[in-house]
Amino acid sequence: MRVALLGPLRAAEDDGTPIDIGGARLRMLLARLALDAGRAVPAAALVDGLWGGEPPSDAANALQSLVSRLRKALPVPVESGPGGYRLALARDDVDAERFERLAADGRRELAAGRDGYAAELLAEALGLWHGEALADVLDAPFAAAPARRLAGLRAEAAEDRFEALIRLGEHAGVLADLTAAAEADPLRERLAGLRMRALCAAGRQSEALSVYAGIRRTLADQLGVDPSAELQEIHVAALRGELAPPSPVADRLPTR
């Protein structure tokens, strides 16, 4: 069985056959257990995560009833024990877990200078997303924090992929996506820096300098701060004309 959390909650058999999970609270329970697939979640944490500060009068029985319904709907066990309830799935059977593994692997490859393989891993990780994380169970008290965390990891993975592609000399191909991402998150300095590097590599120095002026103004107006030292260094390099297109080397080319 596979469970998807990076978008609306979906469950499917290994062959792709959808599994119907009816009822909002039941979907919340599956999502909460899937976030800790293969690990026990204490009953008290489940009650708090599903009902928050307004649990039913007999919360233990209400939870047991939900678990019983979920067991009937799923082809894999929901185990119970002293530690709580455990969804018997491998962590890689949940798209959020798979995304985190691929994104971390991609970042390691990027740090090692294997940019082609990094770009492939990061593209695979980002391709698992089909909307906002936990999109249709965000009303659950537990959902906001993991959704924010996953959104942050998604943004970092996208930046890592842009970095890899710029290093590979694909600056022209990423400019449209970089511009859209920067406009959606105008306070994100790494995006601004990547956009400046891509513009300079494309011979558009004046636009790169305008990007710096824009984020400097936005940071001052909204946060009362100056750009980071790293972004200031990119600005100086752009002024000096030092951000030329990279020269591809063998270990930066795609490996498969």
- The C-alpha atoms of residue 50 and residue 56 are separated, in whole angstroms, by 10
What is residue 246's predicted lDDT score, i.e. its pLDDT? 62
Q: What is the pLDDT of residues 20-69, one digit of tens each?
A: 998 999 999 999 999 999 999 999 999 999 999 899 999 999 999 999 99
pTM across the whole model: 0.90
Task: For the chain of 256 residues, list the mean pLDDT of each consecutive stretch of 10.
Answer: 97 94 95 96 97 93 96 95 93 96 98 97 98 97 98 98 96 94 95 96 95 97 96 96 68 49
Q: Which domains does the chain have, with CATH numbers?
A: 2-93 (1.10.10.10), 169-248 (1.25.40.10)
Largest CA distance in the chain: 69
Q: Give the Cα separation of 22 and 7 in Å (integer).
A: 17
Among residues 202, 196, 200, the alpha carbon closest in space to that of 173 is found at 202
pLDDT of residue 250: 46
Per DSSP, what are the bridge partners of residue 159?
A: none
Cβ-based neighbours of 189, under 8 Å, separated by 6 or more: 215, 219, 227, 228, 230, 231
Confidence at residue 73, expressed as pLDDT on a 0 to 100 scale: 95
Q: Looking at residue 91, what is its pLDDT?
A: 86
